[in-house]
């Protein structure tokens, strides 16, 4: 039987801030940029994040400058935005080859409480100085990720991949609303990745993701493009396939925002983390946990995110 790749997509909403696009670095484990083998993978995940705002100088701050109407005002916020998310994914590894490559598809609907992204969106929509506290605890549908193009080629110890995915604005969005669960715009992810496996048990990978965003619904705003670099490595611990790994990322805005509601501060964030996977039933049911710590944030919320989940693998043949 061919071995399956255990996929993990962490909670993309966790690491962003006001309209910072959808994709966050370290959302995938190091080997997960490459198409899985034949069959279905159904991950069920829960995640928690504890975020703090970092200003344009990169310092933690309780003050956000609102550039509304060209007359900036200082908003004093309650620090610490805590978020919860739930994800049920469907991942399919296709049979045969396309252009000589293994191929697959992925769909990720999300269920989340308003995230740090939404909190900062709410804060920056306020038009006067004062104290603002984000207290919404509702739970609703978020934006959905669909990856219809997922190709990877392998030659001896090297693998290469090309992925295209799109974030669809399925989450509720109303300009400046406290109950939003999505961003209100489409985001296109173009990704290339490479992996080296010097030994069967050890691998390192590097991936770059360019995210291009469309105009936001009912606003005159278009978020600039972001470039993310993901780097990581993993080691298989035993014959059962239990695995441990480390990962890191760096994200930076690479084009200006557009529209009347533009914020002229270029955002960035970096992070490091690790994961551990354990097979309850080898290549059928597995557990996984991850932790990510962000740093060097600018014009973003950043902090610590933890995810735990179960992966169910369903082969197409035995």
**Residue whose tokens read 């690790």:** 274
Tabulate helix, strand, coil % of the chain (nearest 5): 5, 55, 40
From residue 212, give the alpha-carbon distance in Å to each of 22, 127, 164, 222, 226.
10, 29, 11, 10, 7
CA proximity to 22, closest of 208, 202, 251, 234: 251
275: tokens are 């994961």
50 domain residue, yes or no: yes
| Domain, as residue range, for 257 | 12-314
pLDDT of residue 13: 34
245 domain residue, yes or no: yes
- Per-residue pLDDT tens, the chain, 318 aa: give them: 333 333 333 333 333 334 578 898 998 999 999 999 899 999 998 888 888 888 888 888 777 665 554 555 566 666 567 777 788 889 999 999 999 999 999 999 877 655 555 555 555 555 555 555 555 555 678 889 999 999 999 999 999 999 999 999 998 888 877 677 788 999 999 999 999 999 999 999 999 999 999 999 988 889 899 999 999 999 999 999 999 999 999 999 999 888 875 666 788 999 999 999 999 999 899 999 999 999 999 988 889 999 999 999 998 765
pLDDT of residue 285: 96
7 domain residue, yes or no: no
- Cα 250 → chain centroid: 12
148 domain residue, yes or no: yes
From residue 244, give the alpha-carbon distance in Å to each of 196, 237, 247, 265, 274.
16, 7, 11, 37, 8
149: tokens are 């193009």
Domain count across the chain: 1
3 domain residue, yes or no: no
Indicate the helix (H) or strand (E) that contains 152: strand 144-155
2 domain residue, yes or no: no
pLDDT of residue 124: 56
pLDDT of residue 176: 72
State whether residue 18 is helix, strand or coil: coil
State whether residue 224 is helix, strand or coil: coil
66 domain residue, yes or no: yes
Which DSSP state fits 199?
E
As a whole number of angstroms, the longest Cα–Cα distance in the chain is 66
Q: Positive or negative CA dihedral for 185, 140, 23, 312?
A: negative
CATH of the domain at 152: 2.40.160.40
200 domain residue, yes or no: yes
From residue 124, give the alpha-carbon distance in Å to each of 69, 119, 128.
12, 9, 10
CB neighbour list of residue 258: distance below 8 Å, 6 or more residues apart: 221, 222, 224
Which DSSP state fits 317?
-
Q: Write down the H helix ranges in the chain.
A: 116-124
């Amino acid at each position: 039987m061919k071995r399956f790749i255990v996929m993990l997509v962490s909670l993309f909403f966790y690491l962003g801030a006001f309209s910072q696009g959808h994709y966050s670095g370290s959302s995938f484990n190091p080997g997960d940029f490459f198409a899985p083998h034949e069959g279905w993978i159904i991950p069920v995940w829960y995640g928690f994040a504890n975020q703090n705002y970092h200003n344009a100088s990169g310092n933690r701050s309780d003050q956000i400058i609102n550039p509304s109407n060209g007359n900036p005002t200082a908003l004093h916020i309650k620090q610490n935005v805590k978020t919860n998310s739930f994800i049920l994914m469907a991942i399919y590894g296709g049979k045969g080859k396309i252009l000589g490559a293994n191929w697959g598809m992925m769909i990720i609907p999300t269920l989340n409480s308003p995230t740090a992204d939404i909190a900062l969106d709410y804060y920056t929509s306020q038009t006067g100085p004062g104290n603002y506290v984000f207290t919404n605890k509702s739970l609703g549908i978020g934006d959905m990720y669909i990856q219809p193009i997922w190709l990877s080629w392998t030659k001896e110890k090297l693998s290469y991949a090309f992925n295209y995915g799109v974030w669809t604005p399925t989450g509720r969005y109303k300009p400046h609303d406290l109950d939003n669960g999505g961003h209100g715009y489409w985001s296109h992810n173009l990704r290339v990745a490479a992996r080296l496996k010097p030994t069967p048990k050890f691998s390192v990978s590097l991936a770059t993701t360019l995210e291009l965003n469309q105009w936001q619904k009912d606003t005159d705003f278009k978020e600039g493009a972001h470039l993310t670099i993901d780097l990581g490595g993993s080691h298989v611990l035993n014959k059962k396939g239990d695995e441990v790994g480390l990962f890191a990322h760096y994200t930076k805005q690479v084009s200006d925002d557009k529209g009347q509601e533009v914020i002229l501060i270029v955002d960035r964030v970096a992070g490091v983390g690790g994961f551990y996977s354990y097979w309850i039933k080898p290549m059928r049911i597995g557990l996984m946990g991850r932790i990510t710590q962000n740093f060097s944030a600018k014009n973003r919320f950043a902090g610590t995110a933890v995810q735990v989940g179960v992966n169910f693998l369903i082969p197409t043949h035995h």
